[in-house]
Structure formats: structure tokens, C-alpha cells
Amino acid sequence: LFGYVGIEAVLDQMRIKTMKTGFEFNIMVVGQSGLGKSTMVNTLFKSKVSRRATQPGREERIPKTVQLQSVTHVIEEKGVKMKLTVTDTPGFGDQINNENCWDPIIKYINEQYERYLREEILITRKRKIPDTRVHGCVYFVPPTGHWLRPLDLEFMRRLSKIVNVVPVIAKADTLTLEERAEFKQRIQRDLKAHAISVYPQEDFDEDPDDRSLNDRIREKIPFAVVGADQEHQVNGKRVLGRKTKWGIIEVENPVHCEFPMLRDLLIRSHLQDLKDITHNVHYESYRVRRLNEGTR
């Protein structure tokens, strides 16, 4: 009866467990106002992973985001339920003085760690602690085609110390293909020169396979994304895209932009890794810091 249990059976049990309990995954979008953050939140929810789950849309104009705001949808892939929450943030950079414009965002991220910590240190812990911690923070770089601005560098430097940062080039349809490629390389150099370690961080590659997969991703970062929340008819199919005088930019078409890479990284290939690094690295350093404070 208690003989050999194959790995398949173990994996099945794990799958059944997540199917029952589901799991929580939280993303945040950050960047200056007008860069398409709110649009991207809708793009994520409307794109293929979740199309079945979303309500067929009333198309609404996206209002200007004035406060931190979270949207949650339960999406299901192959029988596994996932509670995906995306937190939209108001754009910064509207003020003449942008000093400390990262404060509300950093405060929000830390508050979620604090909340988790308080549950964790209770004597009677919940079997499953509700997880509102931010697993991935998508940082929108304006498509200037030049360099990263001091504000972007400073923001990412601060964020990367407490959360997984995934930078993207916003509104990439406003750059030519050459401009995109050049800008991307310049950003990679800038980040390296300033020792800003964005996701996937080299330090956390676990083995050579991991390393070679992640190296290929690191070459592509920041993804040049385009967002859209309207569907159009293309060759008899409904596609999510932006209609221009020259044609439709299909956001889910990897030939048109790198939104599919962003989506696949976040909610498919690296989902578990983003959760693991959040728990084992970012939350852990928060926890250690907090508990040390307590004993002083």
C-alpha cells in the first residue's frame, strides 16, 4: 500500500492542491503618467490567457488614474485557478518637483510585506495566509529613444531593492525598429553601469539551464511593449490592437511587439519563480529588518 510513489503521482497531488486552493499572483504597474499603464492592465486581462474569463466588454475610455487601485480577476488555465491582481498606480512626474515621488509606491509594497508578517507571527496562524505582496513590478520607461532619465534610474534603483522589477519600453509603436533595438541596448548598459539589478537577477539563477534561459530573457529586457484594450477584425479574427492610418498593431502578435513576451514571463514561464524570489529574497529581507528593529 505504501510502496513506491512515482513523481507523476506527487505532481498530480500538487496540481490537485493548487486547483482546489488556487493561488494568488500580484503585479503592479509603475511609471510616469500617460505611458499606457492603465491600458496595459486591460491588455493583460483581455489577452489570450484570460479572454474566456473576462466579461465581454463595454468599451470604456480609461480615466486618469488618481490613486493606487487594484483589479482582481480569477483566471483559469488547464484547470488551475489563479487569482490575478494588478495594481495600477497614478503616474508621477506631473509635478515640477518629483522628489520622493516613489514614496507612495514603496510604502504600498512594504505595507503588503507588513501585512503578511503580522499574519505569519500570530500564534495561531491561518493555514493559508492571504498574499497581497507584489510579485512583479512592471516599470514603464518613456519611449524617448535616448537614455534613461535620472528619475527612472533612481526609481528603479529603489524599487529593485524591495521587489522584482521588470522594465518595459512603453508605447513602443512610437519608435522605429532600429530605435527600439538601440534604446534597448542603451538601457541595458545604463542599468548595468548603475548596478541596478532587474528581474531575472543573475544572482538567483539556480543552475546552468536556468542561467541560459534567463540569459536569453535578459537580452530582451526591457520588452518593447504596446498596449491596447480594443478588439478589431483582422482576416476574420478578433484581435486586440491599435488601429492606425497604416494598419492595425496587433499587441498579441510577437512580430508587432514584445507584449507577448512580457505576458508569458509574468503569468506563465516565470510565475512561480517570481513568487519564490518575492518570498525568499524580498520578503525575507523585509522580515529580518523588521524583526531586528523589534529587538533593539
Map the footprint of ligand GDP across residues 89-108, applying CB under 6 A. Answer: 91
**Nearest residue to Mg ion, scored by beta-carbon proximity:** 65
Partner whose footprint covers residue 136, from Mg ion, ligand GDP, none (CB < 5 to 8 Å by kind): none
> In whole angstroms, how close is the CB of 286 to ligand GDP at the nearest point?
27
Shorter beta-carbon distance to ligand GDP: residue 37 or 270? 37
DSSP codes joined into one string, 106-134: HHHHHHHHHHHHHHHTSSS--SS------
Cell numbers representing residue 186 in the block: 542603451
Partner whose footprint covers residue 87, from Mg ion, ligand GDP, none (CB < 5 to 8 Å by kind): none
- Asked if 65 interacts with Mg ion (CB under 5 A), we say yes
**Cα 193–chain centre separation:** 23
Give the 3-state secondary structure of residue 178: helix
Question: Which candidate, 78, 152, 70, places its Cα nearest to that of 111?
Answer: 70
Shorter beta-carbon distance to ligand GDP: residue 259 or 283? 259
Cell numbers representing residue 96 in the block: 515640477
- Measured CA to CA in angstroms, residue 171 lies from 35, 65, 168 at distances of 7, 18, 9
* Site residue total, ligand GDP (CB under 6 A): 16
> Which residues in 250-279 are b (16+ Cβ under 10 Å) and which e?
bbbbeebbbbbbbbebbbeebbebbbebbe
Of the residues 53, 62, 71, 129, which one makes contact with ligand GDP according to CB under 6 A: 62
Residue 144 to residue 133: CA distance in whole angstroms: 31
Of the residues 70, 110, 144, 174, which one makes contact with ligand GDP according to CB under 6 A: 174
Shorter beta-carbon distance to ligand GDP: residue 205 or 231? 231
Give the 3-state secondary structure of residue 250: strand
- Asked if 42 interacts with Mg ion (CB under 5 A), we say no
Shorter beta-carbon distance to ligand GDP: residue 91 or 136? 91
Residue 47 to residue 108: CA distance in whole angstroms: 27
Partner whose footprint covers residue 226, from Mg ion, ligand GDP, none (CB < 5 to 8 Å by kind): ligand GDP
Give the 3-state secondary structure of residue 186: helix
Question: Which candidate, 129, 123, 40, places its Cα nearest to that of 87?
Answer: 40
- Asked if 201 interacts with Mg ion (CB under 5 A), we say no
- Asked if 38 interacts with Mg ion (CB under 5 A), we say yes
- Asked if 33 interacts with ligand GDP (CB under 6 A), we say yes
> In whole angstroms, how close is the CB of 242 to ligand GDP at the nearest point?
6
Give the 3-state secondary structure of residue 221: coil
Mark the segment that binds ligand GDP (CB under 6 A) among 19-27, 33-41, 52-60, 200-208: 33-41
Of the residues 28, 30, 38, 223, which one makes contact with ligand GDP according to CB under 6 A: 38
Of the residues 134, 137, 226, 277, which one makes contact with ligand GDP according to CB under 6 A: 226
Q: Which residue ranges make up the site for ligand GDP (CB under 6 A)? A: 33-39, 62, 65, 91, 171, 173-174, 226-227, 242
